[in-house]
Each structure stands twice: as structure tokens, then as C-alpha cells.
Amino acid sequence: MLEFAVELFSDYTARTILLGAASLGVVSGVVGSYAVLRKQSLVGDVMSHAALPGIVLAFMIVGVKEQLPIFIGAALSAVLAVFVINLVTRNSRVKTDSAMGIALSVFFGLGLVLLTYVQRMPDANQAGLDKFLFGQAEALVEKDVLIIGLTGFFALLVVGLFWKEFKLLCFDPDFGGTMGFSMKSLDILVTAVIVSAIVIGLQTVGVVLMSSMLIAPAVAARQWTGTMGSMVILAAIIAAVSGVTGVALSAGFENVPTGPAVIVCVSVIAFFSVLFSPNGFFTLKLKDARSRREIKKDYVLKALHDLALEHDDPGYAHSERLLALGSEKGFSVKKSLWALRTAGYVESVGEDNWRLTQSGIREVKKLSPLEKDL
Amino acid sequence: MSPHQFDIQLVAIIVAASCSIPGAFLVLRRMSMMTDAISHSILLGIILAFFLVKDLSSPILIIGAAASGVLAISLIEAVNRSRLVKKDASIGIVFPFLFSVAVILLSKYARNVHIDTHSVLLGEIAFAPFDRFILSGMDMGPKSAYVMGSILLLNLFFISFFYKELKVSTFDESFASSIGFRPRLIHYLLMAVVSFTCVGAFDAVGSILVIALIVIPPCCAYLLTDSLSRMIFLSVVFGISAAISGFWVANWLDVNIAGSMAFVCGVFFLVVFLLAPERGLFGIMREKRRQRMDFAEASLLVSLYNQEKGEAVKNHPDSRGMFQSTDFASKVVGFLKGKGEIAVTGGGLFLTEKGRERARMTLEGR
């Protein structure tokens, strides 16, 4: 594996491709954060699918598989899809989700129609056009990476220049509007930035899965941080790492398409973050269980204290069953008693009778200072 | 029409009809994009089931696929319920993952099998007639027509058996649970039905274009009617027409049939969106224009009426000034003159008896 990695990084072509994947990752991580924070993840999905007819049309018009026209074609048809969604939702009772379904499937359908149409043409040039479906990073050459880098640079530049404004747009557009920023133009600008990220991912990841390259890094990064700046940076790192890993995996194993390989990497990071980040699903579950145990322990300690008060005897022992009776149904006190014994707060007497120790009495006093003295 | 073409259309019609039926409910429940998730996720189920039984025509494949569709939905809901990820993003991270795993397995281990990444996206309805159902030596027609036909029957059975439950829980979930229906159960049943439908349609139209057949015909119907049963009926009609015309368009241009059906669905929607009698774009614009004119006319009449009674603002001797442009003002005046509600003499406007009557009615709110 190490040899493979060394070989990969020393090879010029491989370095070019990895550089392309990494820059794609940085851009989609940053830009995707906006899509996710604005709850527009699925719009990204629609846009990346909708890029297909533009790609094929650009090819049909220009006649060669040239990067720039394809980028422009893809961007235009992706933007047109967003326009269609807005047009339909504003002017009819069709809801956003349906409008997105319509735009996605019709554009993609048209793309496939055009693709099959082009593939019938005798010209051999169109070969590889369907690589845009699932992506193929091996096909990247230096010039492609340069265009990816430039487009990405401009996208990041826009994000940097409009940092504050985009933040407003994400979190409080109404307030932003009252501050005198044109939220509509900002909305268009963010869409443009997202479209440019999608466009540069088309060759590496492909139209079908590009949306996930935007969404998953941002979702993952969001789990670890609560500030915009660190989220954007973290998302960029996660996406770049997954991009590079995915491309390497796809190059290292036969018959593994690049797009799916990258998406599996980034999704694994996203799911891991959702489960195990400090506020993650399992972490919260663990915290919950721990605090429930603490509360139970305190309850049992208090109950022993109360019973001892009733009998006016600090050393009076009570059975576990009696302690369980006073609590909710199905509430097991055994584990709490064991834990308390380990802490030295209670001691067992005989078969299954329990009483407070001196330090247990002090602990109750600490927990509730107003409690009567034993 | 050759028998081959007939068979393709037969399969297409059945696919379209069975997609439209659950589609109507998905559109009304604002869950259209769930189709996206389901149709992508079933691929994993199909492939895992295939590795298990090594037979592409086994019914296990359909069950495995449907199960993975429902699993994807539950996963999305679980991610969403954790409140760590928003709804749209939960959809957006779950299905691409399952789909990617499926595509990798497919391209790595199932190279020589009948399914490949291309047919996953494009569908292969053109090959549907080649796989025949032979019963004791007799050719009973294409096999996929039978598979899809059973799914259509399942869908019909589902909506007729649970019609009431589906209707109530779609439009008012809390009411549904208060009268003892179980909206969650209905929800999962619907998802299972959608999964089965996607699996069936998957062979024919691929995993992305199935969205077109599920979402678009009901959307067309939604703009034409307010009644649920009529909506379902119309969706089926739209779906079938799109399937047939999509086939002929593809035949004419010699392109992918599934893509062409999706595109024709889009054309249908465009036409309905523009021309639907009440809810079409043109209809809405006409109605808006009519209301605007109506309001302008009434305002002018009322203003003239108030002037007659001496309550008008003195510096507006001519009520035409209240409109934003003289063009619009003369248009309003022209209309009112045409209706005989005002008279124009010497450049001044005067109410006729008819106009006075309408102004009075407007003021009284009638």
C-alpha cells in the first residue's frame, strides 16, 4: 500500500489528477456548506443532474470535447433548471419538492436523449462523453486541472469577498434585507458559486453523484463545529481528503469508477461524524445514559437516607426490594447500589440489606444541604 | 406497428400506470424527492440479492430491492430525527452513499451480468420484449409485462383497500391518528409500494427517470382538478399518454426511450402549466389582469360618485389622475365607456345611471 502511495505521488500524471481531485474537494467543501446551511441540498442534486443536457449540447455545438464550452453548457443548463423550479413554484400550486423532481428528471431525460443521439453520430470524438455520468478522474490532463483550479479560485474569491453577506443570507436573510443588502442578488451569486463547483466536479465525480460531494462534507463538518469559518475550512479539508482518497482507490483497484469511490469516502466520514462527533448520535446517547445513571444513584442514596430518618437510626438496613418499591416500575436499583458501594457510600448487611456509610451520609448532605441530619 | 413495438409499448403503459398511482400521493404529501432516494437505493438491494441467489429473474431480487428502498427511507428519517442533519441534507447524504456502493459493486463484481451501470441509468425497455414468458411451450408475451402487471395490481389493490386511510392521512395527519388510523403505518406501506413500483420500473426506465413517471403525471393532474380520485385517474391518463408518445418520439429520433418518455412528461407538464384552465400560468395572468381591471374600474366609478356627492378631494378634479399611467387610465375609461357606465363630454367624465348603480353597489360591498 505504501509503495503504491509513493508510486502515485511520484508519477507526474497521477500528481496532476490528485491535484485536480484535491482542488475540487476544497471548492465543493466550501461551497457545499452554503447549500447545506440554506437547506438547499436537494437543489444541488437537481443542478448536477440538470447539467447533463448542457454538456451534450455544448459538445454538439462545438463538436470537440473541449473543457470550456462544456463547463459553460453545464452551468447554463443547471441554472436554467433552478429557474424552472422557481418559475413553477411561484406560479402554480405545485410544491418545491415536486418542482425539483420535475426539473431533475426532465433535464436528465433530455440529457440522455441527446447523449444517445450524439452516440449514433459516426464521429468517434464523442467517446467518453458518458464518462460525465459517473466521472473518470484518470482522464484529467494538466489543462483540465488548470481550468478546475481557476474556476475554483474564482468561486472561493467570491465566497471570500462576500463572506459577511453570505453569512447573513444563510442565517437571517430578513435582517440582511433590512441592512440594505440585496438578498436576491446574493441568492443568485450563491447559486452561481454552487453551479461553478458542480461544473468542476463533473469530470471527476460525474453528474449523478456530484450533489453528494457538496452535501456530505458540509454535513460532516457541521457536526464538529458551530462556527461558520471553521465549518467551511473543515468541510474543505474533509472533501479534499475524500477526493484524493477516492481517486487513489479508483486508480488502485480495477473497475472502480471514480465518482462512487469518492462519494463512499466522503459519506463514510459524514456518517461517522453524525454518529460519533461530540454532539453526535451515539455520544449523546452515552451522555444520556451516564446522566440517567447518576440521577438514579442520587435517588437511591436519598431513599436510603429518608428510610433511615423514618427509623431514626443511621445504621438501619433496608432490602433492595423495598428500595425498588418506592421507585418507578421497572426501575432496577441493583446496579446503582453496586456503584454506590464501590464509591463507599453504602454497605451491604447480610443477604440483601443495605445501609448508608458515614461518607454516604456526608454525600447526601452535600447533594441536598437542607436535608435533616441523621 | 411491429409486434416488437407493441410489446415495448405494452410494458411502457403498464409501467407508467403503476408509477402514476402512488405518485399522486407522493406529490400531495410533498415527498416527491423521496422517489429520488428510493429509486437510487433499490439498486443496492437488487445487487446484494443477486449476489445471494445468482439469478437475475428471481423474485428475491424484487423483494430485496423493495426492502432496501424502505430501509433507505427509514435511514433518512433516523438521520433526520436525530436533529443533527436537516431533512433535505439527510436525503442528500443517504441515497448517494447507497447508490455509490451499489455502482462500485456492480462495476467491480458484476461485469458480465446483464445489469451494468448504463442500464441502471438508461433502463432497457427496448430489450423488454426479448425476455418472453413461456408457459408449456406457448409464448405468453414479454415477461416484464407480467412482473409489472402484478405490481400494477398491487398498487391498485393498495389504493382501493386503503383509499380512505391514505386520503385522510395525506391531508390531515393528526385527524387521521385521532380517528384511529395509523398514519405512520400508512406512510411505510406507501413507501413499500413506491419501492416495489420503482423496482419494477427500474428495469424499464432506469433509476433516475422513474422519478419523471412518478412525479410528473400527478403534477399535471394536480393543476387540473381538486378531487383526489379524479387526480389519480388523470395521472394515469397522463402517464400512459407520455409513455406512448415518448416511445414514438424515441422511435422517430432513434434515441433512448426512457429519456424520451421523461422529456415528453416534461412537455406535458409545460403545456398544463401554461394552459390549465384555472391554475395555468396564462389563466392566472388573465385572472390577475381581470381583477386589476375590475378594481380600476370600480375605483374610478367610486371616485366619480364621490365627486358628484361633493366628497371628493378638491385637487383631483379629474379622477384619471389616480392611475399610474395615462395609458392605463384611458384604457379603463375606454372599457367603462364601452359598458355604458360613464360618459365623456368635453374631456370631463360623468357617471351614467348604470355606472352610479355599480359605484353604489361597490361601496356597499356587494
Same domain assignment for residues B237 and B344:
no
Residue in B with minimal Cα distance to A40: B88
Residue A132 backbone phi and psi in degrees, to 5: -70, -15
Same domain assignment for residues B223 and B289:
no
**With 60 as the cut, is the pLDDT of residue A162 above it?**
yes
Highest mean pLDDT pick, A316-330, A341-355, B24-38: B24-38
Give the best residue of A98, A134, A224, A276 to mutate against chain B (max B CB count within 10 A): A98
Same domain assignment for residues B120 and B246:
yes
**Grid coordinates standing for A46?**
437537481
N- to C-terminal Cα separation, chain A: 69
Confidence of residue A103 (pLDDT cuts 50, 70, 90): very high
Alpha-carbon distance of A152 to A135, in angstroms, equals 18
- Residue whose grid cell is 387610465: B329
CB contact under 8 A, B260 and A270: no
Q: What is the pLDDT of residue B215?
A: 95
Q: What is the pLDDT of residue A32?
A: 93
Highest mean pLDDT pick, A235-239, A243-247, B177-181: A235-239
Same domain assignment for residues B132 and B57:
yes
Same domain assignment for residues B253 and B290:
no
**Mean pLDDT across A262-291:** 90
Write out the residue limits of the CATH 1.10.3470.10 domain(s) in chain A. Answer: 10-214
Q: How many CB pairs under 8 A join A and B?
A: 216
Give the best residue of B208, B216, B285 to mutate against chain A (max A CB count within 10 A): B208
pLDDT digits (tens, 9 = 90+) for B211-239: 999 999 999 999 999 999 999 999 999 99
Write out the residue limits of the CATH 1.10.10.10 domain(s) in chain A. Answer: 285-367
Q: What is the pLDDT of residue A8?
A: 62
Helices (H), B223-280: 228-253, 257-275
Report the greatest alpha carbon distance in chain B.
97
Q: Which of B276, B305, B340 is the last residue of a domain?
A: B276
Residues 6+ apart with CB under 8 A from A250: A137, A138, A256, A257, A258, A261, A262
Determine the distance from the C-alpha atom of residue B108 to the mean position of all C-alpha atoms in its chain, rounded to a whole number: 36
Alpha-carbon distance of A188 to A170, in angstroms, equals 13
**Mean pLDDT across A85-111:** 92
Three-state DSSP class for B1? coil
**Mean pLDDT across A259-278:** 92
Judge whether B37 is closer than 8 Å to chain A, CB to CB. Answer: no
CATH number of A285-367: 1.10.10.10
Same domain assignment for residues B188 and B330:
no
B92 neighbors A211 (Cβ within 8 angstroms): yes
Same domain assignment for residues B189 and B312:
no
- Domain of B311, CATH number, reads 1.10.10.10
Report the greatest alpha carbon distance in chain A.
101
**With 90 as the cut, is the pLDDT of residue B360 above it?**
no
pLDDT digits (tens, 9 = 90+) for A66-78: 778 888 999 999 9
Q: What is the pLDDT of residue A305?
A: 79
A100 neighbors A43 (Cβ within 8 angstroms): yes
Judge whether B28 is closer than 8 Å to chain A, CB to CB. Answer: no
Q: What is the pLDDT of residue A139?
A: 75
**With 90 as the cut, is the pLDDT of residue B130 above it?**
no
**With 70 as the cut, is the pLDDT of residue A123 above it?**
no
**Which of A34-38, A221-225, B55-59, B119-123 bottoms out in mean pLDDT, i.e. has the lowest?**
B119-123
**A101 chain-B contacts, CB cut-off 8 A:** 32-33, 35-36, 211-212, 214-216
Amino acid sitting at position A162: F
**B226 chain-A contacts, CB cut-off 8 A:** none
**Which of A255-269, A272-286, A300-314, B93-107 bottoms out in mean pLDDT, i.e. has the lowest?**
A300-314
- Residue whose grid cell is 465543493: A28
CATH number of A10-214: 1.10.3470.10
Strands B132-135 and B138-142 come out as: antiparallel
Judge whether B266 is closer than 8 Å to chain A, CB to CB. Answer: yes
Confidence of residue B298 (pLDDT cuts 50, 70, 90): confident
**Count of structural domains, chain B:** 2
Helices (H), chain B: 3-28, 32-53, 59-81, 87-109, 117-122, 143-161, 163-171, 173-178, 183-222, 228-253, 257-275, 281-308, 326-339, 353-363
In the stretch 83-102 of chain B, residues with CB closer than 8 A to chain A read: 84-89, 91-93, 96-97, 99-101
Alpha-carbon distance of B124 to B132, in angstroms, equals 15
**Mean pLDDT across A95-123:** 88
CB contact under 8 A, A264 and B263: no
CB contact under 8 A, B215 and A105: yes
Residue in A with minimal Cα distance to B31: A97
pTM, entire model: 0.84
Which of B259, B126, B214, B268 has the alpha carbon at shortest distance from A110?
B259
Residue B38 backbone phi and psi in degrees, to 5: -65, -45
**A208 chain-B contacts, CB cut-off 8 A:** 99, 121, 208
Instruction: State which H helix or E strand residue A102 sits in.
Output: helix A96-119
Other beta carbons within 10 angstroms of residue A150's beta carbon come to 12
CB contact under 8 A, A105 and B216: yes
Other beta carbons within 10 angstroms of residue B230's beta carbon come to 12
The residue range of the domain holding B182 is 3-276
The beta strands (E) that lie in chain A are given as 318-319, 346-349, 353-356
Q: Which of B259, B276, B293 is the last residue of a domain?
A: B276
CB contact under 8 A, A106 and B212: yes
Which of A166, A160, A159 has the alpha carbon at shortest distance from A181?
A166
CB contact under 8 A, A264 and B100: yes
Amino acid sitting at position B77: E
Q: What is the pLDDT of residue B236?
A: 95
Confidence of residue A9 (pLDDT cuts 50, 70, 90): low
- Rounded to a whole number, what is the distance in Å from the CA of B274 to chain A's nearest CA? 10
B342 neighbors B352 (Cβ within 8 angstroms): yes
**Mean pLDDT across A81-87:** 93
Same domain assignment for residues B235 and B333:
no
Three-state DSSP class for B116? coil
Alpha-carbon distance of A136 to A133, in angstroms, equals 9
Same domain assignment for residues B8 and B45:
yes
Q: What is the pLDDT of residue A367?
A: 80
DSSP secondary structure string for all residues of B278-330: TTSHHHHHHHHHHHHHHHHHHHHHHHHHHHHTT-S-TT-SSGGGGSS-HHHHH
**Grid coordinates standing for B358?**
355599480
**Mean pLDDT across B64-72:** 90
Give the best residue of B19, B25, B34, B36 to mutate against chain A (max A CB count within 10 A): B36
Residue in A with minimal Cα distance to B207: A105
The more confident residue out of B245 and B125 is B245
Alpha-carbon distance of A323 to A333, in angstroms, equals 7
**With 80 as the cut, is the pLDDT of residue B361 above it?**
yes
CB contact under 8 A, A257 and B103: yes
The chain-wide mean pLDDT, for chain A, equals 84
Beta bridge mates, B135: B138
Q: What is the pLDDT of residue A345?
A: 83
Alpha-carbon distance of B297 to B303, in angstroms, equals 10
CB contact under 8 A, A256 and B104: yes
Same domain assignment for residues B85 and B153:
yes
Same domain assignment for residues B225 and B348:
no
Q: What is the pLDDT of residue A181?
A: 86
**Mean pLDDT across B309-322:** 63
Residue in A with minimal Cα distance to B116: A255
- Domain of B29, CATH number, reads 1.10.3470.10
**A93 chain-B contacts, CB cut-off 8 A:** 222-223, 279
**Mean pLDDT across B68-96:** 89
Looking at the partner chain, which of B89, B92, B107 has a beta carbon nearest the beta carbon of A257?
B107
Residue in A with minimal Cα distance to B111: A255
Residue A231 backbone phi and psi in degrees, to 5: -65, -45
Determine the distance from the C-alpha atom of residue A312 to the mean position of all C-alpha atoms in its chain, rounded to a whole number: 59
**Grid coordinates standing for A178?**
433590512
CB contact under 8 A, B32 and A215: no
Confidence of residue A7 (pLDDT cuts 50, 70, 90): low
Name the DSSP letter for residue B251. H
Q: What is the pLDDT of residue B82?
A: 83
**A207 chain-B contacts, CB cut-off 8 A:** none
B72 neighbors B14 (Cβ within 8 angstroms): no
The chain-wide mean pLDDT, for chain B, equals 85
What ipTM describes this predicted complex?
0.86
pLDDT digits (tens, 9 = 90+) for B42-67: 889 888 888 888 777 777 888 888 89
In degrees, rounded to 5, the angle at the alpha carbon of residue A200 between the alpha carbons of residues A196 and A201 is: 115
Return the CA Rg of chain B. 29
Q: What is the pLDDT of residue A253?
A: 82
Q: What is the pLDDT of residue A329?
A: 58
Which of B328, B164, B282, B219 has the alpha carbon at shortest distance from A99?
B219
Judge whether B47 is closer than 8 Å to chain A, CB to CB. Answer: no
Q: What is the pLDDT of residue A157?
A: 94
**With 80 as the cut, is the pLDDT of residue B267 above it?**
yes
Q: What is the pLDDT of residue B140?
A: 72
Q: What is the percentage of chain B residues whose pLDDT exceeds 90?
A: 31
